[in-house]
Amino acid sequence: MTQKQTKANRENAKQSTGPKTRPGKSRSSQNSIKHGLNQALDLEYDNRFIILLRLVKEDGYSHDEAYSVISAILDHRRVMEVCYEQYHAPKEVFGQGEVMMIRELESDHESGRRTLSYNDRLTIGRFKARTKRTNERLGSVLVQRVRRLGKLIRYQRRSIAQIRRITQTI
């Protein structure tokens, strides 16, 4: 796709009034979901739930007891799986594409294929400084990882408390 076509597509998209069909609306409703831990747990199509429910009932627990304890454990699993994903998420880097583009421009300038004006070089210098500042603020992989996981502590607290509460009552 050419740059012109991309630009035209973006301009056309601005005229859009959003999704019309039900599947479209359903898809776009998932756009801003970060981890989905505030959503209700959907156990209906969870194979693990069905198997665990059967196994726990075989141990002599009633249907209600088994249902509540397995849902609590699976809710905790959902939280821990998100934690695992967040732990292994790639490092967030600001301006990676732009920096590569700038490198190309500079090498072209050095080889004489392109001329960069004083203003161009000034803009590039400012952008590089901004990128460096932002990336320093974002921190290393470890720092980013710890910050992301820190946001999930409250969900772990909630799910564990639920397991404890249910196991005390059954």
Residues 39/140, Cβ–Cβ less than 8 Å: no
Q: Measured from the CB of residue 110, what is the shortest distance to other proteins in angstroms?
A: 19
Instruction: Tell me, by CB under 8 A, how many residues bind other proteins.
Output: 37
Q: Measured from the CB of residue 77, what is the shortest distance to other proteins in angstroms?
A: 5
Report if residue 124 touches other proteins, rule: CB under 8 A.
no
Whose Cβ is closer to other proteins: residue 26's or residue 140's? Answer: 140
A 10 A CB-CB count for 128 gives 14
Q: Measured from the CB of residue 11, what is the shortest distance to other proteins in angstroms?
A: 39
Report if residue 51 touches other proteins, rule: CB under 8 A.
yes
The pair phi, psi for residue 132, each rounded to 5°, is -65, -45
Tokens for 31? 């756009």
- Given 3-state DSSP classes, what are the helix, strand and coil percentages for the chain, each rounded to the nearest 5? 70, 0, 30
Report if residue 168 touches other proteins, rule: CB under 8 A.
yes
Binding mask 67-106 for other proteins (x = CB under 8 A): --x---xx-xx--x--xx--x-------------------
Amino acid at site 99? V
Binding footprint of other proteins on the chain (CB under 8 A): 48, 51-52, 55-56, 58-59, 61, 69, 73-74, 76-77, 80, 83-84, 87, 132, 139-140, 142-143, 145-147, 149-150, 153, 156-157, 160-161, 163-164, 167-168, 170
